[in-house]
Structure 1
Amino acid sequence: MTTAEEDGMALELVEVVDAELVDDGAPGAGEVAVPDPVAAVLAALETDAQAHLRRIRPKKTRDGYARDWEVWQEFHTWLKRQTGTPLPLSSITVGTFVSFVTYLDQVVEAPPNTIERRITGVTSEARARGYTVPKEATEAARRALKPLKLDESRTRRGRGKAAAIAPADLRKMAEAPRERQPQPTAQRPRVYRVPELARLRDQALNSLKLAVAGRNEEMSLLNDAHIQVVAEGLKVHVPSVKGRPPRDVPVTYGENRATCPVRCWRAWQEAKIAAGSGLGGPAFLPVDQWGHLGSTRLSPDGIGRVLARCAQSAGLTGRRITGHSARRGLVTTGIKKGKRVDKLRRQGGWSANSPVFWEYVDEGSMFEDAPTEGIGF
């Protein structure tokens, strides 16, 4: 055997040996991968938890987020027409989210508060579908939204903020005529008369709503058993809605009979008994135009309509009176009367870092030690 042949055999032997050494020493060589049972259980629990959290989300929120996702799809259809290239719905980046804000502002002409809600809804729905939503994308979208929220012409696109109501407004509502004249443009004009039973219900509802800073949903869920008459006035257990914790709040006697929440509540209870309704059920019941008492609780929308109708009858026009008007009104009025901020916050069930609550506080204290007061004008 020649030297060249010997060298070739040696080289081939080294290659074989090296290959065998590499194969034999490779991690997991010749083994079948075994799934990690711990990881599998954790993944299953994560999936179940996300599904459960979606199921217990309030229907109104679910419907709103579903609509937000539809708008996200509409944005992608529009974007395809502009660029000629379809993007997957999972493409959530700084670029697509900022473009989404611009689309809602300039194409849809949505008000800033609606755009802000769309961002939240799309983020939630995307994550529920397993898509990644980078933090920098949501932060960039909110930075793009910030100057829009300061533009008065854009904020006017929406319905605007609810106006606060004060005890003086409640007195006007309570003293408003029970007969409401028809609109001049009505095709079938007729006088609408508020039945006495409805009048007593409205006074109790409106005064108590302001006293506890109640949301429409909370007032709808109130039962007679939640409202306890005590020597000092009322102890009200406001039930939980939308995952918020329940709260127990005090309500004291008022100065005026027509707006005192304690006396209005007791008068309404007596009226319910006289109308043949037993106590212990829903706190507020519907009353038809003939003065007949219903048996099912007044819905959240019905609660809001009561306040809006009474405000209209009292001539409180030019102001947007909604379900939040009472909540805003308790804080702004309370601050002006020197009430403690922490007690006002607990009364209405706001979180400690609620931006809405602190906005109400600032509104109520606007003229407290005003910069122009006492400076020599």
Structure 2
Amino acid sequence: MCSTSKHGKKDSQHRSTSGRRRRLLVEQWARRHGIDAARRLADAEDLADAEDLADAVAAEIVPDNTIDTYAKSWRVWTRFCATAGLPELEGPDGSLVAFVAWMLREGQQNGKGYAPSSAGTHLAAVVVGLRERGVSASRDDQAEARKALTGLEVKLLQTGERRGRGQAVGADIDGLYAIARSCPDTVAGDRDKALVFTGFHYASRSQDPAGLQSGDVTLHPRGLVVAVLTGKTKHSVRNARIGYTQDPEICPVRAYTAYRERLVAEHGTEWSDPSTPAFVGIDRHGHITGGLVPGSVTRAGVPISWTGHSLRIGLASVGRQRGKDAIAIADQGGWARYSRSMLGYMQRADGWDDTASAGLT
């Protein structure tokens, strides 16, 4: 009887905590995307806890670039089906394996083969597209296609053929200093420093700062809390905590607060409203053009050839080099714990000092 009461009390406390977290997410969603969108989520009776709600949030806000990828991949699939004389909307039954082989052999419109990473992206998107159109694509179908892709990639490596641009350059501490010393003493320069320094510390994708409102970035006695609602999964919808750094020159907290204070001082108090973009667009004449879009984030006036994934690679790689726990890195950057993509981002500094055998004997 006593044991049952204890379990009942724990279950009740868990439901209460989950309910509070769920309400907070709904309220946050309402502030960001309106009452109607929040009500649709709140009315979903099968949302048992905050993680389910986060999944629903992520589904509601599939980024435009993901939608574009799905559309592009489906066009690749239709070209393959036309070339192979196969129907687009019938069960795969081995056609996914043939699709992979075709992509690596001749799949591009210029007749050249895709890089294995691009072929993998198209494969994943086509599986989604088939399911959306009511076509069954089983785990076995996908597994066979993935196995074929891996085997073909190995053959390319054995022949010395490397396709694609390779992994993006990862952000690093030296790069942060270069940015700090190169950005002009303007609102745009302050914005770029704040965007990169904060983005490095929460492993931002290009769409993340573009989707932030100023109310999503809150000051805490120990730093900043960034509410990231533009993630693709329940793991990437998160509150990232960014602390003050030892060196003020590359401190994300100081950079962000300085940028926001200057923005309000030079362009008006309306920019202090929580619903305004956290990072604003600024033209070459210094005029505010509204919020940033993902493309303009990657084109911001940063004097280094980083890409939209450089900050994610940077947090994973530098965090690993500094001995940070993999779970802590995953939680901060919005990966699933022990995510293969996160591990793939962890670039080694070099092949000598950073090798596993260094210093063993």
What TM-score, normalized by structure 2, do the two folds share? 0.72
Match of 1:310 in 2: 302
Match of 1:336 in 2: 321
Match of 2:224 in 1: 234
Aligned 8 A contact 1:304 1:323 in 2: yes
Of 115, 119, 129, the match for 1:111:
115
Match of 2:250 in 1: 259
User: SS of the residue aligned with 1:371?
Assistant: coil
Q: How far 1:373 moved relative to its partner?
A: 2.1
Match of 1:14 in 2: none
User: SS of the residue aligned with 1:339?
Assistant: coil
Residues 280-291 of structure 1 mapped to structure 2, 5 A cutoff = 280=273, 281-291=276-286
Match of 2:272 in 1: 279
Are 1:128 and 2:123 matched, yes or no?
A: no
Residues 178-327 of structure 1 mapped to structure 2, 5 A cutoff = 196-244=186-234, 246-277=237-268, 278-280=271-273, 281-294=276-289, 296-306=290-300, 309-312=301-304, 321-327=306-312
User: SS of the residue aligned with 2:124?
Assistant: helix
Distance in 1 between the 2:63 and 2:316 partners? 27
Aligned 8 A contact 2:331 2:337 in 1: no
Range that drifts further, 350-359 or 245-254 = 245-254
Distance in 1 between the 2:241 and 2:234 partners? 19
Distance in 1 between the 2:59 and 2:204 partners? 26
User: SS of the residue aligned with 1:215?
Assistant: coil
Distance in 2 between the 1:73 and 1:282 partners? 39
Cα distance change on mapping 1:165 and 1:59 into 2, 3 Å: closer
* Residues 262-320 of structure 1 deviation map (CA, whole Å, 9 limit, x = unaligned): 111121012101222331221100111122233x21111111212xx4133xxx6xxxx
Distance in 2 between the 1:214 and 1:169 partners? 16
Between the aligned residues of both structures, percent identity stands at 28
Distance in 1 between the 2:350 and 2:114 partners? 31
Distance in 2 between the 1:202 and 1:358 partners? 28
* Residues 236-287 of structure 1 deviation map (CA, whole Å, 9 limit, x = unaligned): 2222433545322221222333311111112101210122233122110011
Match of 1:145 in 2: 149
Q: How far 1:361 moved relative to its partner?
A: 4.3
What TM-score, normalized by structure 1, do the two folds share? 0.69
Of 164, 172, 179, the match for 1:173:
179
User: SS of the residue aligned with 1:310?
Assistant: coil
Cα distance change on mapping 1:372 and 1:95 into 2, 3 Å: same
User: SS of the residue aligned with 1:175?
Assistant: helix
Distance in 1 between the 2:191 and 2:60 partners? 35
Match of 1:96 in 2: 95
Q: How many pairs were matched up?
A: 291
Distance in 2 between the 1:369 and 1:55 partners? 43
Q: How far 1:369 moved relative to its partner?
A: 7.1
Q: How far 1:118 moved relative to its partner?
A: 1.9
Distance in 1 between the 2:247 and 2:62 partners? 41
Q: How far 1:360 moved relative to its partner?
A: 3.3
Cα distance change on mapping 1:215 and 1:119 into 2, 3 Å: same
* Residues 185-214 of structure 1 deviation map (CA, whole Å, 9 limit, x = unaligned): xxxxxxxxx561211111111101111112
Q: How far 1:365 moved relative to its partner?
A: 11
Cα distance change on mapping 1:289 and 1:252 into 2, 3 Å: same
Structure 2: segments with no counterpart, 5+ residues = 1-57, 108-112
Aligned 8 A contact 1:213 1:330 in 2: yes
Structure 1: segments with no counterpart, 5+ residues = 1-52, 81-86, 179-193
Match of 1:70 in 2: 75
Aligned 8 A contact 1:332 1:365 in 2: no
Of 348, 356, 361, the match for 1:370:
356
Cα RMSD (Å) of the superposition? 2.8
Q: How far 1:154 moved relative to its partner?
A: 8.6
Cα distance change on mapping 1:90 and 1:299 into 2, 3 Å: closer
Match of 1:347 in 2: 332
